[in-house]
Every structure is written in C-alpha cells, then in structure tokens.
Structure 1
Amino acid sequence: MDWSLSIDKAIPKPLRVIFRGVGQVFFCCNAVTGLIFLIALYVGGITAGLAATVGVISSTVAAYLLGFSDDDIDAGLYGFNGTLVGPCLFLFLENTPQLWVLVVLASILSTIVLAALMRILQPYNIPASTSPFVLTCWMFMVAVYSFDGFARGPVLPEPGIPADIAAASVVAAEFATLTQDAAEAWYTAVTKGVAEVMFADSVIVGILFLTGIAITSLRGASMALAGAIVGVALPICLGADKTLIEMGLYAFNPVLTMMAVGWVFLKPTTGTAILALLAGVLTVICQAGLANFLAPIGLPTLTFPFVLVMWMFLFAASKSKYWGNSH
C-alpha cells in the first residue's frame, strides 16, 4: 500500500533496514510490515522478541562489516535468516545466558551461509531463502552434544525411530463437524499456522502477521492464508497427529511455499495460484517425510520442506513454457 511505502521511506535508514529484515521472513520488503511482525513477536513472548531483535541486528551488521551488497542489505535480505535464528535457538535449546552468545554467532554464520548460497544459486536465478537459517540452526542443535556449557531444550525432539500414530480417525471427526468447537479449532489451527513461521504459538500473533502481509500485498496475504488452510485440511484428511495440526505445525511450511510460488517468484496469475496450491499440498507431504527422516537424529524440519519444494517448483518453472516467466 502506498501509505506504508511512504512511511517506510521516512524511517531512518538503520531502523528501516532492520525492520525490512524482519519483514523479509514473509517476503515483505516493507519496514512498516516488519515493525508489525516484530511487535507481534514481543506480544507472543518477550524472550522471542528479544532473540529475533538480536538475530536480525547481528546478521545485518555482519553483512555490512563483511562488505556484502548494499542493495541486498538495504532490502533486508541479510536480516530475515537472523530473525528466525534467534527465536529458533531459544525454543529448542536450554535457555541460559550463554545462549545469547550462540544466537549472535549463529546469526552471523547465517549471513555468511546466505552469501555463499546466493553465489552458488545465482546462475539459476533461484533464491537461497531460509535455507541458511535451517542449516545454521541444525548445526548448532547438533553441536550442543559436544559441549557441557550448552544443552538441549525440552522441545527439541528426542532421537528415535519413527512410529505410526494412533487414533487418526478422531482428528477428522473433530474438525469435520459443523459445530462451534470445530470452527474454533479451524480458526486456531489456521492462525497459529501463520504464527509458527516465527515459532509463535499464538492466535493473536498469526492475525498480526497476516495483517502485516496484507499491508504489503493482499495477494501475498491471501496466499499465506490459503497455505495455512491447506496445512490444516490436508493433514486432517490424511489422519495426521491431532496436536500437531492444532498447533499449526503442519501449516507454516505451506504458508511460505504458497507465498513464494503464487506471489513472489512467479508472475502472479490464476495459473500460478493453482501451481502454488499444488506446491502447498506437496509441502505437507514433504514435511511429514522429512520429519520421519530426521527423527533418528532428533532434529526438527524447520522450514526445510518449504525450501525443498520451492526450489523444485522454481527449477521446474524455468523449463516450462507456461510458468517460465519468473521475476
């Protein structure tokens, strides 16, 4: 929206770059949107908000000091991975004063990994997106086993062999009924699905995120909402774990995938919206497969299902006479 762009340009450059970095988590190069996202994170929890702030500042400052592209830095492209690193490490590792040091180091590393992947992927016109965040956090999560000064948090999955879930039919029955409870369950799962992109287990945060996206683009917000719905509906049909569905943990990856394919990287048309829907569906399957694949080493999927599916669709689109007109 024009008014938000005017405010964006009026914000002092250092703050504008930081806020844009937060906004780029949802592909929004808009400081107003980024500010709303950051406020939403603080609403969800002070620690998460502080961790995201430290992460985005560390990764952005590192990009400046390392002499990376000023245009990329100004657009917030070196900030969004750091934004995700902070809340992620505080969610999955033990909350100690030393963890702040890890957040700074991991955020700096995410900037270096991003620059490297941008160089590797540049000939193919494919974005690195959140892959630096995923690779960096996986490394730090596994590294804690080697140091007494750091420890796993209770949320980090225990290594183990994947097992079939039980009572899957109960899930479909609960969400399929035409009752107020079913409507509330859908509303909660969908909004939390958007919030979980930044590890927030909160309906209010999800609503604020959608509002921030809508300020930048109504199509972007519609793609995000559609992705969240796909991330609830499909797991219900397939009989996924009820708790994971209710927490929105199957929805946050399709949110990003549908935004990337249906709004950001391909020409926004009805055709790309349909392609985005297919990508969102496949992201749910990919997430389930990756979750089982990573279970023996006790690592969460994070946003890697989104990254994999987005990469495959964008590579495929470049070969298609229908979808090849990418941005």
Structure 2
Amino acid sequence: MHAAANEAQSAALRTLLRSLGQIVLQANAFTGACLLAAWLLYDPRLACAALMGAVAANVSAVLADYCEDDTRAGLHGFNGALAGLAAFNFIADNATAGAVAILAATCTAWLLAPWSRWLRARGLGIFSSPCLIVTWLWLPLVTVNATSANVTPAHALSAAQAGSGLLAGFAQTGFASEALPGLLVLIGIAAASCRHALRALIGAGFASAAHLLLGATIASFDAGLLGFNGVLTALALADCGLVTMLGGVALSSVLQAAAAYFGWPVMTAPFVLATWSVQWLTQRLALGVAAVEPAQLRDTTRRATTPVPATRES
C-alpha cells in the first residue's frame, strides 16, 4: 500500500515536471526540472506561478476526463503553467496574481479540448494558443506597467555579450531573463534532444540578428527579448528541415517586430502564428503534389494503353 502511494506521488511529480518541460516543447521531466531551477534562480515568484498554473490545469484536465496519456505527457498542464507565469508577470500584487493565475490556468484546461479539436481538423498544433487567448481576455482589465528597454546605440557585440543575450532568450521562454537561467533551460532541452537544442540555438541567433537588423535595441537583446520566439519556432519546426525552420523563424521575427512597433503585448503569439503558417503552407504543398501525381500517373497509363494506329503499306 505504501509502495503504491509512493508510485502515485512519483507519477504525479513526473506529470507536473513534464508540464513545465512542454513549455519548450519537450515531454521530459528533467527538462521541466531545469526550467523550475531557472525560475528559482531568477525569481522564485515565477516558480510558484508556474507550479500553481500547472497544478490547476492538470486537476481540471482530470476532472474533465481528458486523455490520461496526454495528461501524463504534460500536454494538459503547460498552458496552465504559462497562464500562471503571465499573471505574475503582468500583475504586481501577489494575491491578485495568484487568483488570476488559478482562474486563467483552469480556463486554459477547459478551452483545450474544443480548441484543439478545431485546430487538429485543420492540421495545426495547439502550442501556447490557449494561454494567449485567456491572457488577452483578462489583460485589458489590469494596469500593465510597461518596462521599455533603454535605447542603446548599436555597436559590435562582444562574444560574452552575444552568448549572454542568446542564453537570456532561452530564459524568456518562461518569462525569466539572464544568462544562467537561460543556460539551465538550454541544458534541459539538450537532455531531451541534443538536435533540438542545436536547432534552438540557431533559431535564437537567427531571430536576434534579424531583430537587430530591423532596429531593435541592444538592451532588448541583452534581456533575451529578441530570441525567445525564435527558440520556440525552431523547436516546433525542428523536424521540418533547416530551410523551412529558418523561414518560420524569420516570419516570427517580422511578426514580433511589427507587434513591438504598435506596442502590443503579443508574448509567444509570433511563434504560434509563424508555426501555423508553415504548417498550413506545408499541407497545401503536400496536397498539390498529391493531386499532381495521380494526374501524371493517369496520363502515363492512358498513353501506354492507347493503341497505335496501323500504317498502310504502299
């Protein structure tokens, strides 16, 4: 009996940690533990927010009788964790942020089933879209203290500054910052897949360079604000080929730059929209190829079976 209770507790802990790991698209408990360590190092308030949101979302998924395997993989909890992080990021008062975090995380869980069915019917992934929808619903009701980055003249980045800025982009996938938390996140991704970690580094570097070319500030790069959507897009498209992945990262960078120009709090929306666009385009191309091949086959068969007219001898 005692062993069964210990096993149940261990399974629940792994589910919780996988929910955190799914924030960077890795169904891996060690990845989740690395993210948790990154939040504890940067700001323990964020660690509490992520745990609170993940627990609320997973409990709601169990009550809604969602697929148990998906819950164990962390698919039902990570949007709740992100919703909790968003609440504590935008709301200064801890009590208000905690209440909003629990409610928002619960809403992401209840939204998950109908929204994911609608997206799957169109061949699209759900990613962090439930968190974005729920956060945008309550965000206009609170006063957000915008922290604008100081405008720093563009200059050549040192190797240390470039490395620090890239790692900070990994930390920003979970609303944190700084190089050491970002390094922990990168280690967590590499533990699940070295290939995905390498693609994420490429995505962070490509996105950061694109933003700097588009006029972003060095301060934003140092804070990791230029690379995090590139990291997530590269992870989502890691298995689609390098050119396709870079195209998605470029599109996410353009979308993020446009949103920054208008001052919209888009969070991970550029990553979601860019990935959806690539998925949609890939499907259209695949359908086009599938439609052309049978037509070519029919034409070849018709030519092969058409009798050759007999010629009259003179």
TM range (shorter): 0.7 to 0.9
Equivalent in the alignment of 1:154? 145
Offset, 1:61: 0.7
CA contact under 8 A between 1:234 and 1:284: conserved in structure 2?
yes
Equivalent in the alignment of 2:156? 174
CA contact under 8 A between 2:151 and 2:218: conserved in structure 1?
no
Per-residue CA deviations over 1:175-220 (Å, capped at 9, x if unaligned) read 2xxxxxx212211210001110101112111100010000110111
AA aligned opposite 2:193: S
Offset, 1:133: 0.9
Equivalent in the alignment of 2:307? none
Output the TM-score relative to the length of structure 2.
0.84
CA contact under 8 A between 1:54 and 1:104: conserved in structure 2?
yes
Take 2:27 and 2:130, find their aligned partners in 1: how far apart are those partners? 19
Equivalent in the alignment of 1:34? 32
Change (3 A) 1:105 1:324: farther
Equivalent in the alignment of 2:297? none
CA contact under 8 A between 1:134 and 1:304: conserved in structure 2?
yes
Equivalent in the alignment of 2:271? 306
Per-residue CA deviations over 1:267-286 (Å, capped at 9, x if unaligned) read xxxxx122101211221111
Equivalent in the alignment of 2:170? 194
Matched, 1:234 2:210: yes
Matched, 1:244 2:235: no
SS at the partner of 1:208?
Answer: helix
Matched, 1:84 2:82: yes
Change (3 A) 1:221 1:324: farther
CA contact under 8 A between 2:211 and 2:257: conserved in structure 1?
no
Take 1:276 and 1:227, find their aligned partners in 2: how far apart are those partners? 8
Equivalent in the alignment of 2:183? 207
Task: Flag the structure with larger Rg.
Answer: 2
Change (3 A) 1:94 1:166: closer
| CA RMSD of superposed structures (Å) | 2.5
Output the TM-score relative to the length of structure 1.
0.81
2:236 aligns with one of 260, 264, 276: 260
Equivalent in the alignment of 2:61? 63
Take 1:324 and 1:212, find their aligned partners in 2: how far apart are those partners? 38
Query: Aligned residues, how many?
Result: 284
CA contact under 8 A between 1:93 and 1:156: conserved in structure 2?
no
Change (3 A) 1:166 1:196: closer
Take 2:43 and 2:79, find their aligned partners in 1: how far apart are those partners? 19
Q: Which runs of 5+ in 2 are unaligned?
A: 1-6, 291-314
AA aligned opposite 1:138: W
CA contact under 8 A between 1:92 and 1:156: conserved in structure 2?
no
Offset, 1:130: 0.3
Equivalent in the alignment of 2:196? 220
Provide runs of 4+ in structure 1 moved above 3 Å.
165-168, 321-325
